[in-house]
Amino acid sequence: VKEVLIDCDPGIDDALALALAHGDPRLNVVGITAVGGNVPLEFTTENSLRLRDFYGMTAPVARGAGRPLVREGINAGNVHGVMGLGEVVLPETATELDPRHAVDLIIETLAAAPGEISLIATGPLTNIALAVRKEPRIVEWAAEFVIMGGAYTRGNRTPAAEFNVMADPEAAAVVFEAGWTTVMIGLDLTHQARANAEVRTRFAGLGRLESELLTPCLDFYGRFPDYRELGPAIHDACAVAYLIDPTLMDAVPARVDVETQGRYTSGMTVTDFQAPPEARNALVPTTLDQGRFWDLMTEAFGVVAKS
């Protein structure tokens, strides 16, 4: 069983990523940290807490950075709804936040078991960049580091940039330059993970998970213009799926640099698949075995629905 700490900005696909992480028997979620992104930090934190309880998770939840390192914040309320889960409002929870800042939860959790805990980031990389700056040794301590972010062809927030990287390009630059191998699950991969009508028939029978979360969230998410034709892309769950079973994807080593200066290209993840081995800093999955991905998702959701 792999232990994992998840830094996220729920977010509809973040919510599904957490369900996958909790439901799959090969992962044990040891911490959840929230960052401002899709919606303001206040909502991503509250959603993290409520999702934790709704799914029956036990990991501590900590609040992180509410704005990017340098820039003004942007959000994706148009995709995820004003509060982040479409029109879904999960039951209130009495669970208290971990008193630590997310950055300290990340550092202390990894420090307690060097080489044993993996880190996944499915939102802007602000918390991770701050953690790297505060305690550079997390780069060695993290067993694996996987992000949903970036793209090697084109963006979604702008023609050049994917949302999570665009939201805090300076943080993303710190993270890619930190010295670890970043597994970059970008849009080229995640656009292969579509919750289309056929996929959604498999969620019937999942009880409250289906009726109170999956169906209303996916109905809302699927109304976003980019997702109407092929179904919504469940980006963030792909990062979790990689950690569970990397054989679901073909991956290519590369050098990734983040554009922070470009007038039209800020937030672009410039990906060089021809970089010499010593220059590589990333592993970039390119193809997804969609059949096995949805099998994994459906099985994990079944476990969550019963717990």
Specify the residue for token string 């390009």. 169
> How many whole angstroms separate alpha carbon 256 and alpha carbon 150?
9
Which of positions 27-86 make contact with ligand BDR (CB under 6 A)?
Answer: 38, 76, 79
Q: Does 81 bind Ca ion (CB under 5 A)?
A: no
Specify the residue for token string 């805090």. 168
CB nearer to ligand BDR: pick between 75 and 100: 75
CB 300 within 8 A of CB 24: yes
Binding residue for ligand BDR, selected from 44, 47, 164, 269, defined by CB under 6 A: 164
**Active-site residue flag, 191:** no
Binding residue for ligand BDR, selected from 50, 100, 235, 255, defined by CB under 6 A: 235
Which of positions 3-22 make contact with ligand BDR (CB under 6 A)?
Answer: 11, 13-14
Q: Which does 162 bind (CB under 5 to 8 A by kind): Ca ion, ligand BDR, none?
A: ligand BDR
Q: Does 194 bind ligand BDR (CB under 6 A)?
A: no
CA distances from 131 to 87, 123, 193 (A): 33, 15, 30
> Which pair of tokens denotes residue 69?
């390192």
Q: Does 162 bind ligand BDR (CB under 6 A)?
A: yes
Q: Which does 24 bind (CB under 5 to 8 A by kind): ligand BDR, Ca ion, none?
A: none
CB nearer to ligand BDR: pick between 14 and 46: 14
| Angle at the Cα of 65 from the Cα atoms of 61 and 70, rounded to 5 degrees | 165
CB nearer to ligand BDR: pick between 69 and 141: 69
Which of positions 141-160 make contact with ligand BDR (CB under 6 A)?
Answer: 148, 156
Query: Which of 242, 219, 216, 241 minimizes the C-alpha distance to 231?
Result: 219
CB nearer to ligand BDR: pick between 76 and 195: 76
> How many whole angstroms separate alpha carbon 168 and alpha carbon 9?
13
As measured in angstroms, the least distance from the Cβ of 94 to ligand BDR is 27
CB nearer to ligand BDR: pick between 137 and 228: 228
> Which pair of tokens denotes residue 202?
């498999």
As measured in angstroms, the least distance from the Cβ of 34 to ligand BDR is 12
- Please give the residue whose beta carbon sits closest to ligand BDR in the complex: 163
CA distances from 279 to 179, 180, 218, 251 (A): 11, 12, 40, 17
Q: Which residues contact 79 (CB under 8 A, 6 or more apart)?
A: 12, 38, 221, 224
DSSP assignment of 70-118: SS-----HHHH-TTSSTT--PPP--PPPPSSBHHHHHHHHHHHSTTTEE
As measured in angstroms, the least distance from the Cβ of 44 to Ca ion is 9
Beta bridge partners of 182: 145, 282
CB nearer to Ca ion: pick between 11 and 31: 11
Q: Which residues contact 295 (CB under 8 A, 6 or more apart)?
A: none
Q: Which does 163 bind (CB under 5 to 8 A by kind): Ca ion, ligand BDR, none?
A: ligand BDR
Q: Which residues bind Ca ion (CB under 5 A)?
A: 9, 11, 14, 122-123, 236
**Known catalytic residues?**
235
Q: Which residues bind ligand BDR (CB under 6 A)?
A: 11, 13-14, 38, 76, 79, 122, 148, 156, 162-164, 235-236
